[in-house]
Chains A and B, each alone.
Chain A
């Protein structure tokens, strides 16, 4: 799997957009970008994934650069409950895609 690099921590003001970057410069053509988050001691929660087009769902938007070497997860109006560790993962989607490498993620702190 391609290695990902994320900042260790970020702060965001409540109500503002939180933009979390991820570098994956060695990503290959058939690898998707996935984002998960982990709130306090809960299990990780799936947020969104994409291949090359930008994606949006009820939780967030995912912007992938044209060369696919980096991406940004956007939480449009961050709330205090969005304080969590956010993980960016790069993975192929095939029958052998079981092993996942989470890394240490970005700790996002949303401040009032």
Chain B
């Protein structure tokens, strides 16, 4: 079956612009997670949802970052007023049931802020 998909796969934006990154989880998966990954490092947790409820957003770096999952399926991670330090790979993952840690990751969105 279809895995987790993310779009766009690559995004280049100018400093100060807003960007929206989309994640489409595996159909029927209850939980959805966002991570950020710098080159050579492991994924860094940002936030996660059970259904449409955002359960933990402690990993969001600052208030320029926000995420939503209004219908409990597709999620959008929005970064306002982008800065060069926001450049990274942004990864989305989903899991079938909350509390179960077997997460399935998407291919990621490579964000470059110039």
Q: How far is the CA of A100 from the CA of B33 in the complex (A)?
A: 9
Report the interface size class on chain A: 20 to 34
Complex contacts, A99 vs chain B, CB 8 Å: 45, 48, 56, 58-59
* B residues 10-65 touching A (CB-CB < 8 Å): 31, 33, 35, 40-45, 48, 50, 55-56, 58-59
- CB–CB B108/A98 < 8 A: no
Cβ contact within 8 Å between B45 and A44: no
Contact of B58 with A43 in the complex, beta carbons under 8 Å: no
Interface of A is mostly: loop
- Chain B residue with minimal CB distance to A93? B99
User: How far apart sit A105 and B108, CA to CA, in the bound complex (Å)?
Assistant: 19
Given known contacts A91-B101, A95-B99, A42 and B107 CB-to-CB distance under 8 angstroms = yes
Take A43-B105, A98-B33, A99-B59 as given contacts and tell me if A87 and B42 are in contact as well, using a CB distance cutoff of 8 Å: yes
Q: Mark B77-102, 1 if CB is under 8 A from A, else 0.
A: 00000000000010101000011111
Count of residues in B whose CB is under 8 Å from the partner chain: 30
How far, in angstroms, from A103 to B35 measured CA to CA in the complex?
Answer: 13
* Binary B-proximity of A23-35 (CB < 8 A = 1, otherwise 0): 0000000001010
A96 CB to nearest B CB, Å:
7
Instruction: Report the separation of the CA atoms of residues A89 and B35 in the bound assembly, to the nearest whole angstrom.
Output: 15
A20 CB → nearest B CB, Å: 15
Q: Within the complex, which residue of A49, A94, A98 is in contact with B102, where a contact is CB–CB below 8 Å?
A: A49
Given that A95-B50, A98-B33 are contacting pairs, would A45 and B105 also be in contact in the complex, using a CB cutoff of 8 Å?
Answer: yes
Kindly list chain A residues whose C-beta atoms are within 8 Å of the C-beta of B104.
Answer: 46
